[in-house]
A and B are shown apart, each in its own frame.
Chain A
Amino acid sequence: MRALLVFFLTAIMVHSLALAHRVNIFAYVDGEEIVAECSYSKSKRVIRGTIQVLEADSGVMLLHGETDEQGMFRFRVPEQARQRGSDLRILLQAGEGHQNEWTVEAAEFMASPPTPVGSQALPVAPNPASQQGDVATLSTAGLTRAEVEEVVNAALDAKLAPIKRAVLERQEKGPGLQEILGGIGWIFGLVGVAAYFKGRPRV
């Protein structure tokens, strides 16, 4: 009896990770890394789902791994993809036949090249359009390219965070009333067609 109870309790716990309609994956470039967020719904993350990163055109697997407790998977952009400028296909397998994928285009990570080791101080070219204020100070301060990049990346991350969130939420949104009512309408429409063909002709 007790064994049965334990079984049911485990069943219910396991269940919370397992039952879902579909999985979502959303990946973006974060500096030199790519971050993939995997979820069943807004609150349910894919824990320990299998991730494969493939080269989009050739289908060669570049690396693989598992998502963490938050359903996240981070990896450095593979050198091969960077050299050949190929898109990355990120494939998520969440078990029970649930699978989804997301493609990170080469342009997204090629824009942020790897920081060269021991980068020299490259003076930032003064912008002729705006000579006054901060820009002027910046150019004379002799900031390294890496430092400028870091500042810009941080600012962009902060600005783009809500947009990332919006994309994620949009993807995770369940079906709305429109789809549901539309589907029911379809069913009754199909029955109308069936009735038309099956109906007996009136005498």
Chain B
Amino acid sequence: MHISEGVLSPAILGLGAALTAVGTAIGLRRLDYDRLMTVAILAAAFFVGSLIHVPIGPSNAHLILNGLLGAILGWAAFPAILVGLMLQAVLFQYGGITVLGVNTFNMAFPAVLGFYLLRPAMVGSGRARSVAAFCCGALSVAGAGLLTALSLAFTAEGFLRAAQLLFLAHVPVMVVEGVVTVLAVSFLIRVRPEVFSIS
């Protein structure tokens, strides 16, 4: 999911950076003092999430957690993911600084969509909540894959091939993320319902 340095054209890089700047500005404006720690904890979870390898069958996958961030943070997922990706780029050489805008938008925008579409059902109860949380986790990963493939549409690789590869590669991740999101959301609603009380 981390697009490397030097792959994309300046136009796409610029567009990604602009969209991320807007998203981050909205996220920061809506962020109030009481929720800073929640954002920090989730940004840290996102930052280390990609290092946690989950064995699935003969191979393993790493978590992305963008769905979970979207479900809890809404627009604040933008600054959280931006910081997480920036540190991954600087410290681990995943992705890169110039592609930071594109990579952030690709992961954060589906998260915000998940927040608007599925969050109302998530604060409900019982089965509806679990289904909504699962969808939020899984579809955010799928959305990130789709946006990544779209970003690659104008490179030699082309949209279709990139989309196929990315989708196939992330099917197991989608399932795992869905489950993780269900567990995290139901746990938080039981222990810390106030996390979900502010929009």
Name A's B-contacting residues (CB within 8 A). 8-16, 18-19, 21-23, 50, 93, 95-101, 174-175, 179-180, 182-184, 186-188, 190-191, 194-195, 198-200
Q: Are the C-beta atoms of B168 and A179 separated by less than 8 Å? A: no
Residue of A nearest to B93 (CB): A22
Q: Do most interface residues of chain B lie in helix, strand or loop, or is the interface mixed?
A: helix
B92 & A187 in contact (Cβ 8 Å cutoff) = no
Pick from A14, A95, A174, A186: contact of B51, CB below 8 A. A174
B43:A187 contact, CB within 8 angstroms: yes
A-B contact count (CB 8 A): 131
Q: Which chain B residue has the least Cβ–Cβ distance from A188?
A: B40
Q: Are B83 and A187 in contact (CB under 8 A)?
A: yes
B94 at the interface (CB under 8 A from A): yes
Question: Contacts A93-B156, A97-B148, A99-B4 known; A12 to B58 CB distance under 8 Å?
Answer: yes
Tell me whether A22 and B2 are in contact in the complex, defined as CB-CB below 8 angstroms, given that A15-B172, A16-B58, A191-B40 are known contacts.
yes
Q: Which of A22, A187, A199 contacts B47 (CB 8 A)?
A: A187
Would you give 9 A-B contacts (Cβ < 8 Å), ordered by A?
A: A11-B172, A15-B61, A19-B173, A21-B92, A96-B169, A179-B92, A188-B44, A195-B33, A195-B36
Do A187 and B36 touch (CB < 8 A)?
no
Q: Is B198 an interface residue (CB 8 A)?
A: no
Q: Are A19's CB and B157's CB within 8 A?
A: no
Provide the bound-state CA to CA distance between A19 and B144, in Å.
14
Contact of A18 among B50, B51, B148, B165 (CB under 8 A): B165
Minimum CB–CB distance for B97 against chain A, Å:
14
B162 within 8 A of A: yes
- CB-CB < 8 A to A9: which residues of B? 57
The minimal Cβ–Cβ distance linking B76 to chain A, given in whole angstroms, is 11
B91 touches A198 (CB 8 A): no
A175 near B166: Cβ-Cβ < 8 Å = no
Which residue on chain B has the smallest CB distance to residue A98?
B4
Q: Inside 8 A of A188's CB, which chain B residues have their CB? A: 40, 44
Q: Output the residue of A97, A98, A198 with the most chain B CB within 10 A.
A: A97
The closest CB in chain B to the CB of A44 belongs to: B59
The reply to whether the CB of B151 lies closer than 8 angstroms to some CB of chain A is yes
**A175 & B91 in contact (Cβ 8 Å cutoff):** yes
B189 close to chain A: CB less than 8 A: no
The yes or no answer to B191 lying at the interface (CB within 8 A) is: no
Kindly provide the distance from the CB of A21 to the nearest chain B CB, expressed in whole angstroms: 4
The answer for the CA separation of A97 and B3 in the assembled complex, in Å, is: 5
Q: How far is A87 from B192 in the complex, measured between Cα atoms in Å? A: 59
A97 touches B33 (CB 8 A): no
Residue of B nearest to A10 (CB): B168
Which of these, A8, A96, A99, A180, contacts B148 with CB under 8 Å?
A96
Q: In the assembled complex, how far is the CB of residue A192 from the closest CB belonging to chain B, in whole angstroms?
A: 9
B residues near A175, Cβ cutoff 8 Å: 51, 91-92
Q: Which residue of A lies closest to B171 (CB)?
A: A11
Besides A15-B56, A97-B157, 19 other CB < 8 A contacts?
A: A15-B59, A15-B168, A15-B169, A15-B172, A22-B4, A93-B156, A93-B157, A96-B3, A96-B157, A96-B165, A174-B51, A183-B88, A184-B47, A186-B83, A186-B87, A187-B87, A194-B36, A198-B36, A200-B33
B58 and A13 contacting across the interface, CB-CB below 8 Å:
yes
Q: Which residues of A contact B50 (CB under 8 A)?
A: 21
Which residues of B, 1-43, contact A by the 8 Å Cβ criterion? 2-8, 31-33, 36-37, 39-40, 43
Q: Would you call B40 and A187 a contact (CB within 8 A)?
A: yes
Closest to A94 in B: B4
CB contacts (< 8 Å) of B32 on chain A: these are 198
Residues of A within 8 A of B129 (CB): none
A195 to B155, CA, bound (A): 41
Q: Would you call B152 an interface residue if the criterion is a C-beta within 8 Å of the partner chain's C-beta atoms?
A: yes
